Chains A and B, each alone.
Chain A
């Protein structure tokens, strides 16, 4: 079964706007990771945030983690058409990784 749930399921924005995606999960975690997937094939790792961290930045990406609410958010600033992809959060509780159903982001040029 899947651990995380992303919200929204789909998001469509204009180039230059910010995109925010949320992830909620059910059980305690050690880490949470965000991945990106193009064309339904290999996933690319974006960022890992540990359970004792609250916020992390990487380039145009900002990830927050609220363990009390069992939720995380991924913010992509100044979006580009090339950011169009599916985004997944993955959580680990027992040294495996469980994914949600993903958010499909479309950035219109």
Chain B
């Protein structure tokens, strides 16, 4: 597609449920990033993929969070046993080869855990 696409735009889930957030990067972009942004804060780094592998997952807050990119394109961020504190906007970005190139962001998924 023309840009980074994230689905769904909004997700409301009950505490304790499992959610999956999807990111479709720009075609041909090898680098993919996930961020979490709370109100009034900057994007907080979660995980970075280069191709299919997670080059850096040091930002994942705990083992309830997991992300995959099995074919080096679409990525899914998975959150188990959601907690109210997980409520935030989850942003995905892709870039052609990595941080030396401009990253393009999707519009994000607003996750609300009730």
The residues of A with any CB-CB pair to B shorter than 8 Å are 2, 4, 6, 30-31, 33, 35, 40-45, 48, 50, 88, 90, 92, 94-102
Contacts and interface: CB of A to CB of B under 8 A. Distances in A.
Contact of B103 (A41, A50, A94, A97): A97
Contacts of A33: 102-103
B52 interface: no
B108 interface: yes
Given A33-B102, A33-B103, A97 B37 contact: no
Contact of A99 (B39, B42, B56): B42
Contact of B42 (A31, A48, A96, A102): A102
Interface in B24-70: 31, 33, 35, 37, 39-45, 48, 50, 55-56, 59
Given A42-B106, A43-B105, A44-B105, A96 B89 contact: no
Interface of B: 31, 33, 35, 37, 39-45, 48, 50, 55-56, 59, 89, 91, 93, 98-108
A47 to B, nearest CB: 9
A70 to B, nearest CB: 17
Contacts of B91: 42-43
A100 B106 contact: no
B56 A31 contact: no
Nearest to A102: B42
Contact of A42 (B44, B59, B105): B105
Nearest to A104: B40
Contacts of A90: 103
